[in-house]
């Protein structure tokens, strides 16, 4: 039986968590502030949206190279570089904002304040550098997690991360708004300080998996799943940059992973599109009952509640049942949101839809991590991210056309249908439905001949 609170007794995990949380909070604050700064400097919402879209594309494509970087080099060092580069880039951005548009509050954000083209060009260049940094290094902490905590604690650590991410989402916007009220450069100063905290916290991590041939034998896991991964722990075969698509290819080539990855990406993409449409409907639908911001906040609350319960469920309920509950609640919840007559009822259905996500994500993430060698986690993260962004982009394209032809309700019904189809597709695998609790995953993988990478 797992010892209660054992995860937090690991000093290295606590330092990892501090570093990861610093990065998550700084990212949330900057993501809130940056579009407002670009809008203030250009006076064009179109330019702000184009820059934002370009950043997503750059981050996603560079992320494929980032996966190789994270698998090839020491992840503790990369986490330190991640924090220090944030300190430098956010600090330079704060200085540029003060010089170019002054340190006033966000109340003037809708007015163009920088007439000098060099200032606009410099800020856009910095924003693109943010995206390159994110693509290369942002997923390093996720890839490093399994090298910090025991395999048995990995699903619980992922549930904790879901709770943390929901909390950051809840407080990130208001916190960023408060900082913007103090001054346009203040969010970037805060981001720089958080970057320094993240680098210092990463530096304090002492025991973790890394490529060290001398430590190959002592570092090998006792998990029967990992023992089947061949020589992936030896560190002898360094990944090459032409291997950038290796993770994506394996996710789509292996039948079990392909089934699961496509279903998860489709459900997540359609669900996020419904959330975006619901937010737009709340802000433009002529109702004052619920603000657009409250839609995101309520979703975060639902995820946070689910994450707080997830750790208690992972050890006591079969993992297949938790995954089935996640897909079922996503389908039913978002279908109810599409059919609900009022905005408060829609939000209530959305909250119900995401309640089981943390437990299901912890199971799927923990299982996928255990099927993959520690030296390949970066490329798997990059491949999964590309699938998720691709599915979300396709869902948004469908939504744009659907809103013109079908309206809000019809479009959300179509997207809910995609989620239902993804749920049926995923749950048609008996190997997934019969997945036991984490302590029996090794035997299950052997019995069902599930491939490792």
Q: What phi and psi values does residue 355 have, to the nearest 5 degrees?
A: -60, -40
Within a domain: 219? no
Euclidean distance between CA atoms 135 and 57, whole angstroms = 10
190 and 334 assigned to the same domain: no
pLDDT 10s per residue in the chain (453 long)? 445 457 888 999 999 999 999 999 999 899 888 887 887 787 776 777 678 778 888 888 899 999 999 998 999 999 999 999 999 999 999 999 888 776 555 544 444 454 567 788 888 899 999 999 999 999 999 989 988 998 888 888 988 988 898 888 888 877 888 888 888 899 999 999 999 999 999 999 999 887 765 433 333 343 333 333 333 444 446 677 678 888 899 999 988 999 999 999 999 999 988 888 887 776 665 444 445 567 777 888 899 899 889 888 998 999 999 999 999 999 999 999 888 888 788 889 989 999 999 999 999 988 887 888 888 888 998 899 899 888 888 888 888 888 888 888 899 999 999 999 999 999 899 999 999 999 899 899 999 988 888
Among 298, 24, 61, smallest CA distance to 138 is for 24
> What total number of domains does the chain contain?
2
First to last CA, the chain: 29
Instruction: Give the Å distances, CA to CA, from 66 to 35, 69, 123, 382, 385.
Output: 25, 5, 23, 7, 11
DSSP 240: P
Euclidean distance between CA atoms 259 and 257, whole angstroms = 5
Within a domain: 230? no
Euclidean distance between CA atoms 348 and 346, whole angstroms = 5
374 and 282 assigned to the same domain: yes
Let me know: does 374 contact 71? Beta carbons within 8 Å.
Answer: no
Task: Give me 272's structure tokens.
Answer: 């996020």
Task: Give me 63's structure tokens.
Answer: 């992320």
Euclidean distance between CA atoms 411 and 433, whole angstroms = 30
204 and 259 assigned to the same domain: no
418 and 322 assigned to the same domain: yes
pLDDT of residue 425: 93
Task: Give me 180's structure tokens.
Answer: 């913007």
Domain range spanning residue 294? Answer: 245-453
- Nearest-5° angle of CA 306, CA 309, CA 313? 115
Half-sphere CA count of 192, side-chain side, radius 13 A: 14
pLDDT of residue 284: 60
pLDDT of residue 433: 92
Within a domain: 3? no
Q: Where are the alpha helices (DSSP H) in 236-318?
A: 246-253, 255-284, 292-314
Within a domain: 318? yes
- Nearest-5° angle of CA 320, CA 326, CA 332? 130
Stated pTM of the model:
0.79
Q: Biggest alpha carbon distance in the chain?
A: 67
Picking from 187, 208, 229, the residue at the C-terminal end of a domain is: 208
364 and 446 assigned to the same domain: yes
Let me know: does 365 contact 158? Beta carbons within 8 Å.
Answer: yes
Within a domain: 2? no
pLDDT of residue 110: 43
182 and 267 assigned to the same domain: no
- DSSP state string for 166-214: HHHHHHHHHHHHHHHHH-TTHHHHHHHHHHHHHHHHHHT--S-----GG
> To which H or E segment does residue 352 belong?
helix 343-354
314 and 392 assigned to the same domain: yes
Euclidean distance between CA atoms 235 and 229, whole angstroms = 13
pLDDT tens digit string along 366-377? Answer: 888 788 888 888
Task: For residue 326, give the CATH number of its domain.
Answer: 1.20.1250.20
Within a domain: 340? yes
314 and 190 assigned to the same domain: no
pLDDT of residue 116: 67
Q: CB 191: neighbour CB atoms within 10 A? A: 30
pLDDT of residue 5: 56
Task: Give me 367's structure tokens.
Answer: 């299982």
Within a domain: 77? yes
Let me know: does 247 contact 385? Beta carbons within 8 Å.
Answer: no
Within a domain: 213? no
339 and 402 assigned to the same domain: yes
Let me know: does 185 contact 113? Beta carbons within 8 Å.
Answer: no
């Amino acid at each position: 039986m797992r010892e209660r609170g054992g995860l937090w007794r690991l000093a290295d995990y606590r330092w990892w968590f501090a570093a990861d949380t610093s990065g998550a909070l700084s990212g949330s604050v900057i993501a809130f502030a940056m579009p407002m700064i670009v809008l203030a400097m250009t006076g064009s919402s179109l330019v702000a949206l184009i820059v934002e879209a370009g950043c997503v594309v750059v981050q996603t494509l560079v992320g494929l190279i980032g996966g190789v970087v994270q698998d090839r080099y020491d992840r503790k060092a990369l986490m330190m570089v991640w924090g220090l580069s944030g300190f430098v880039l956010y600090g330079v951005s704060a200085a540029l904002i003060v010089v170019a548009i002054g340190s006033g509050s966000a109340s003037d954000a809708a007015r163009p304040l920088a007439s000098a083209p060099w200032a606009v060009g410099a800020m856009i260049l910095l924003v693109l550098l943010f995206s390159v940094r994110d693509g290369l290094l942002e997923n390093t902490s996720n890839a490093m997690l399994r090298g910090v905590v025991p395999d048995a604690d990995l699903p619980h650590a992922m549930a904790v991360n879901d709770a943390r991410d929901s909390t950051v989402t809840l407080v990130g916007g208001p916190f960023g708004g408060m900082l913007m009220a103090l001054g346009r450069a203040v969010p970037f100063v805060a981001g720089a300080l958080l970057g320094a905290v993240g680098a210092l916290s990463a530096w304090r991590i002492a025991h973790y998996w890394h490529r060290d041939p001398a430590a190959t034998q002592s570092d090998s896991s006792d998990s029967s799943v990992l023992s089947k991964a061949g020589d992936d722990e030896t560190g002898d075969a360094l990944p090459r940059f032409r291997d950038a698509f290796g993770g994506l290819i394996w996710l789509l080539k292996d039948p079990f992973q392909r089934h699961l990855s496509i279903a998860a990406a489709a459900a997540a993409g359609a669900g996020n599109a419904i959330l975006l449409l619901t937010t737009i409907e709340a802000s433009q639908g002529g109702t004052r009952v619920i603000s657009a911001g409250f839609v995101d906040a309520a979703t975060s609350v639902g995820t946070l509640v689910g994450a707080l319960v997830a750790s208690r469920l992972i050890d006591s309920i079969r993992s297949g049942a938790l995954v089935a509950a996640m897909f079922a609640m996503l389908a039913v919840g978002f279908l109810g949101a599409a059919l609900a007559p009022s905005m408060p009822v829609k939000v209530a259905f959305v909250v119900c839809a995401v309640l089981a996500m943390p437990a299901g994500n912890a199971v799927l993430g923990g299982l996928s991590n255990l099927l993959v060698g520690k030296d390949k986690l970066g490329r798997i993260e990059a491949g999964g991210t590309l699938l998720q962004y691709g599915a979300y982009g396709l869902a948004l394209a469908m939504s744009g056309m659907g809103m013109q032809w079908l309206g809000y309700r019809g479009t959300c019904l179509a997207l809910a249908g995609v989620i239902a189809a993804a749920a049926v597709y995923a749950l048609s695998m008996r190997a997934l439905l019969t997945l036991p609790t984490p302590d029996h995953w090794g035997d299950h993988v052997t019995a069902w001949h599930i491939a490792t990478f």
